[in-house]
Each structure stands twice: as C-alpha cells, then as structure tokens.
Chains A and B, each alone.
Chain A
Amino acid sequence: MEEQTTPKLKKPPKPSKPITELWWFFAAAACVKLLLIPAYKSTDFEVHRHWLAITHSLPLSQWYFDETSPWTLDYPPFFAYFERFLSIFANLIDPQIVHVQKGLNYSSNTVLYFQRISVIFSDLCLLYGVYRLTRKLYSTRQKLMWVLVVWSPMLVILERLHFQYNGFFLGILLISLSYLEEGRDLMGGLVFAVLLCFKHLFAVAAPVYFVYLLWHYCWKGFVRGFWRLFILGAIVVAVFAVAYRPFIYHGQVISMALTVCL
C-alpha cells in the first residue's frame, strides 16, 4: 500500500498553470456579478457615491467636516485616498457623479455601472490575497480554498447587493496573513497597519496580531527583543503618520477620530 501511494506523493503537487485556473474562477464570478448590477442597492451605495464627490470636489481639510449630506466620511484616510483615486475615473465618465450638490441621490445608469464595476475590479485585491496565501498548498486544497473565497456567497450579497468594498479589505488582510505565514513578520505587520488605515473595523484583530508578533517576532532575548519591538512600533507609527499626516497638518486629528468612531 505504501509503495503504491509513495509515487503519488513524489508527483509535483502543483499543476502546470495554477494562476490560469484562479483567473477562470474570478472571471466566472465576475460574470455573475455583472448580472447582479441592476439588483437591490442599499443606502451604502449613495454613501460611497457621496464620498467620491467630497473627495473629488472638496479640499482635503474639509473631507471629514462636510455636512451637505447625512453620509459623512467615517472611514480612515487611506480609504478616503482610495475614493479620491476612483473619483478621477468617475469624473471622466460622468462629472455629475462627483458633484457634491447635484450628485446627491444621483442614481442614473452611469453611476450604477461605475460603482458596481469598481467593486468587481477591487476584488482583484482579494484574488491576489488568496493566491498569495495558498501558493504553497497542495493543489486540491488550494482549489477548494479558491472556490470558497472567490465564490463566497456572503461577499456577493454584501458587496453586490448591499454595496461595500469588503473584498478589497479582505484581500489586504489575506496578503498580510500570507506574509506572516512566510515568516516575514515585519511585512505582515506593515500590511495590517495599512489595513487599519483603510477600515478601522479590523482593529478587532489587532490584539491577535499584537500577541502573535510579540511572541513570534519579538520574543528573542532581552536586547534583540526590545530592538525588534522598537522596529515594529516604528513601522506602525510610520504607516499611521503617512495616512494622517495631512490631517495632523490641519490640526484635525482629534475631531476626525471622534467622527470616525461615532
């Protein structure tokens, strides 16, 4: 029995073109997502459209303080920069999308298609995250994980219907986890800090990260450990500084924090 099975173990576990298959799963999911474009959308749709408008049309100092609409910006700065990036394309397609007053509750086909397709593109981040995380796995398990993540029904409902960018965030989380799995703890910590500046909700994972990095990265003897802790802390602070620097400049950090948390 052992002799029969050992040759199979020696067979290389990865098929010739794993990435093609992953792209196939993504493309098939994208087809279904395209079909769901005219489906129900919640108020979150208008929320994100409004954020495109304020990040595009208003100066940075007013992003967190604009009161034109009840949907004030309540995500950390990296997401605001992401919306700013998207708004460049939105402006090219239909300037009314990014107009702060005229775009209120704008629900024509252009904004619908633009936003839905932007979510599909942001799912590429999830794709990369799951690819990175499952690179070293045995092929059968790898495929199962791809299918479960890329075709996750909960993500489809939340993103396609309710409308959010969770695939994008989860992709970053998976990238961070993949770095930790490879043993590159600093990179993992850095990517997680970046994620925290995208969506503060992921702070619920911060204690786990802290304990893991403390034990796995820093617990290496007194001096070395403290040095590593210092490096880790410096990196996290650097990431937050990059995110919040413009707002620190305008003296808005405290009020921003209040807006974000409440």
Chain B
Amino acid sequence: MEKATKRKVNNKKGKEEKPIVECDDESDAWWWLVHKGITASFLSIALFSLLVRVAVSLHPYSGAGNPPKYGDFEAQRHWMEITLNLPLKEWYRNSTVNDLRYWGLDYPPLTAYQSYVHGLFLRFFSPDSVALFTSRGHESYLGKLLMRWTVLSSDVLVFFPAVFYFVVVYYAGRNPSHRMSGIAWHMAIILLNPCLILIDHGHFQYNCISLGLTVGAIAFLLSDKDLVACVLYSLALNHKQMSAYFAPAFFSHLLGKCLRRQYPLLQVLKLGLVVLGTFLIVWWPYVHSMEAFLGVLSRLAPFERGIFEDYVANFWCTTSVLVKWKRLFPTQTLKLLSFGATISSCLPSMIQQIWSPSKQGFLYGLLNSAFSFYLFSFQVHEKSILLPLLPASLLATEEPFLFTWMTLYALFSMFPLLHRDKLVLPYLSLSALFILLNHLSSGRRDTKDTSAFRSFVTRVFLLCSVILHVVYLSMHAPARYPFLFEALIMLLCFSQFVFLTLYTNAKQWMLLKHSNLVDKEKKLL
C-alpha cells in the first residue's frame, strides 16, 4: 500500500507549495482517487463507468428502425409484454396469444421473472410500449429511455456490487505490497470492459445480471462461502443458460475442495441439495407437469437452428470454410461431435482442479472452460465471447498482456455485429478508452523485457486487424463472396483465441507444478 501521510502545515512564512499528500512518484497522478481507501475509489470509478454506459445508451440499439423482426431490443420488449399480460403457465407455450416464432422466450425462468419486473416499470410510465399485440415493433423515445434504464439499473444493482466484493476478497488475502492504484486500475478495467458495455448498453442485452451473479459466486467461493456461491451460480444459470460455460470449472473446483475435506460425500450432498433447491424454487411453476417442464427445456436448447449462425470465431464456423459440417453430418451427429469436443477440451482443466484445487487455479479454470465452450459448443453467438472475457478481466493483474490481447480481439470479433447496429462510434471510443487504461498500467509497471520476436509478432497482428477494420468500413466485398471480410475477421480472431486458450491451459497446469514446489519447500522447512 502506498504511504500516504498528511503533513501539518507548519511553514506559513514561506511561499513554497505545501503538499497535501505525499505519494510515491508512480501513483502520483491518481493520488486524489485512491487516497481515501478502496470504497471511495470504487464509488468514483463506478460513477465514471455509469457515465460511460449512459453515453453509450444514446446510440442505436439492435434492430432499430428495422421491421419486421427488428432485433434483441424488440425481443426483450416483447418478453416484457408477454410476461405482463399472460399467466405464468403460458409464457413458454405456443398459442394464439403467444406466437413463439416472434421472439419466443428462450432463456430460463429467471429472465422471465426479470422481464416481468421490468415490464411493470415500463407499464407504469408508458403502457403503450408493453400492451399485448399492439406494442409489437413499438419504437419511441420514452420506450428506449425506459428500456435503457432497466439495463442501467440492473448493472448498478447486480454487476457493480459483485465486482466490488470480488476486488475486496481478491486483494484481501494477497501481498499487501499491492498498491491502491493497482487495485483501482483493476476495478476500472473490469467495470469499463468495452465488450460488455457495447453489448449490454448498445446492442441491448442483460448480460450484466448473469455475469454479475457469476462474479458474486466467484467472490464467495474465493472467500470460502461455498453454499452462497452455489446459490448465486445456480441463479446465474437460471438467468442465462450460457452461464453453463463456467459449470465445469465450478464443478471441478468444488469437487476438488470437497474431496480434501473430512466426509467428502456429505459436502457434495450439501452443495447438491443447495443447487437443487435453488433450481426448484426458480422452476416451481413449471415442475408440476412433465409437459410444462419439457416445454421450457426445449426452448432453451434450440438445436434446430444448427451448429452455428452468422460468422462467429469458433472452431465449427472457422473450419466450415474447408469442411462443410452442416452438409456432411446430420444435426444429431453434430450435437454429439460438439459435445465430445467441448468436454475433451475442458477435461485437462477440470482434472487439474479436482487434483489440486486452488483459488488462482479456479480463475484459470473458469477461463479455460469458458474458452472450450466458446470454441467447440453448439450454437455459439459472437456475444458469447463475453463469457471467457469475464475471468480474463478478473485475472487482469496476473495476466495483463493476455487480457489486453483478448479484449482487443473479442472487440474485433464483434465488429461486424456492432457495425450492423450502427455502433461504430462507441466501438472506436470505447476501444480508445480501453487502450488508454492499459497504457496506464504498462506505464506504471517495471518495463519487462519483452522479446523482440514477440513484439514483432504482436505488431504484425495489430496491423492486420487495423487494415481489416479500414477495409471493412470502406470497401464492399466482391459479389461472389459477399461475406469475405466477415470470414477474414473470424479467421484472424479464431487464430488468436486458439493461441490464448493453449497458453491459459498450460498456465493452469504450471500452477500445479508451482504449488508442488511450494509444498516441498514448506516440508523442507
């Protein structure tokens, strides 16, 4: 922690400047932000992040002015309409009043309950925007404002406190030589995650809720409150089924911990009961009949949509340039193939955690399992890159280069989507803000001697991505290959993700070696 001492003003005669707080040189620029402690710093950074979110909300949303189907914004508004006006049992059922082909609910019940609450808020101020049938395609200034407010409030109520608690827990057990400004930087880098802001407050989604619940679960796990962590993670799963990307990491880490305790079976049973209990409470209206239960379940896993849609930087979509998966195999086979590939790619990480669970290893495990799911799972969207990006941001102080690289390529992989939504300006300014934040961190750290080869390679890749940006914005693709540029972007991003995931898997296994060495040293002493 920096030494901040207040000096008494004891020389009124002299005209020299009286220092308010004496700080080390390096944290000098930010003394005013960090000198009152972690809570004050967090509040300031949180307010700035809120400002950035509000500023991004000014820009268009997905499907703005684009009938007949519009986009995700209309989908969320439609769910509020459905949940407000129809009884619970009808929400997931296809009927004349609820046409599932027009943006039917395809997230678990917690999203539905959340839509209901937000719908109440919208109906109070603008009943026309959520009236049954007549509000389809409703687009107005007030409607947009209210919808943006629902995302902003969810972010502030769920994501921000979770991040605060995570930072407190993460740095509580660490070496106190970590300066306050480093902690403040970490908080800023998580809260000002450009991808999350662009998707939630630009494109329009509610990832902040499920990601916030996941961060909360991670924080409680790191502070050894496993039961609370299970509850929060189950809630995250019940909000968006994509949170299952983290399930292997949670499962393997908890299993590893339980196996090391007395009466492992009892521990496992306790956790299992808590998870089941949470699921039961959330799914209560739908567990009374098998039909209702299966009805909801089938909406959550739309296998008929195929193994991939659009151009996402994962294995199936990238290799489909050479191997036409959709033509060679039926959906059933592809389901099994992707399941097999996903499980086998996250197996090493799971085994490492079961063998030797550790807090640091858990964070790497989250990153690795999220990456495996992103690269090999069925029906992955570009927005799913947010899931691996979350643990990467939690590990930002450990792996700053990895995190920066990953964020830049995650942003790039979403560029075609954001371009369609006319969000290029927020994309550019948030990327610039992110690069500025990173410059802060690299300026503060001791200059590490990066090999000339590595800096050459990174510069080449950066140049390629900048060129692709310019080409995409200024040129039209040839008529024969209308999606050429999207494919090139996908290829570049996929290559980077593969490197990154190999690196993080290796890193996680090296932790095992490191902890073994530490154990041996302890035994010697």
Contact = CB atoms under 8 A, between A and B. Distances in A.
For the residues of A in contact with B, the DSSP-based class is helix
Given A5-B7, A35-B55, A27 B426 contact: no
A108 interface: no
A139 interface: yes
A35 B426 contact: yes
A15 B32 CA distance: 16
A13 interface: yes
Which range holds the interface residue count of chain B? 20 to 34
Interface stretch (A36-44, A49-57, A80-88, A171-179): A36-44
B25 A15 contact: yes
Nearest to B53: A35
B272 to A, nearest CB: 46
B502 interface: no
A28 B22 contact: no
B142 interface: no
A34 B423 CA distance: 12
Contact of B429 (A21, A35, A141): A35
Contact of B19 (A32, A36, A140, A147): A140
B274 interface: no
A169 B146 CA distance: 38
A38 B432 CA distance: 18
A135 to B, nearest CB: 12
Contact of A36 (B20, B28, B55): B55
B213 interface: no
B425 interface: yes
For the residues of B in contact with A, the DSSP-based class is helix
With a 10 A CB-CB cut-off, give which of B19, B21, B439 has the most chain A CB atoms. Answer: B19
Contact of B430 (A21, A31, A38): A31
Nearest to A40: B58
B280 interface: no
Contacts of A21: 29
Contacts of B30: 143
A140 B55 contact: no
B296 to A, nearest CB: 39
Contact of B29 (A27, A36, A138, A143): A143
Nearest to A25: B29
Contacts of A226: none
Interface residues of A, number: 27
B220 interface: no
Contacts of A138: 17-19
B436 A28 contact: yes
Interface string A134-157: 000111110110010000000000
Nearest to B7: A5
A27 B436 contact: yes
B56 interface: yes
A141 B436 contact: no
Interface in A1-40: 5, 8, 13, 15-16, 20-21, 24, 27-28, 30-32, 34-39
B440 A24 contact: yes
Interface string B1-44: 00000010000000001111111010011111000000000000
Interface of B: 7, 17-23, 25, 28-32, 51-52, 55-56, 58-59, 425-426, 428-430, 432-433, 436, 439-440, 443
Which 8 A-B residue pairs are closest in the complex by CB-CB distance?
A35-B55, A138-B17, A34-B429, A31-B433, A31-B429, A21-B29, A31-B432, A35-B429
Interface of A: 5, 8, 13, 15-16, 20-21, 24, 27-28, 30-32, 34-39, 137-141, 143-144, 147
16 contacts: A5-B7, A8-B22, A21-B29, A27-B432, A31-B436, A32-B433, A34-B425, A35-B426, A36-B55, A38-B425, A137-B17, A138-B17, A143-B30, A143-B31, A143-B32, A144-B32
Given A36-B55, A143-B32, 11 more contacts: A16-B25, A24-B440, A27-B436, A31-B430, A32-B55, A35-B56, A39-B55, A39-B58, A140-B23, A141-B20, A144-B32
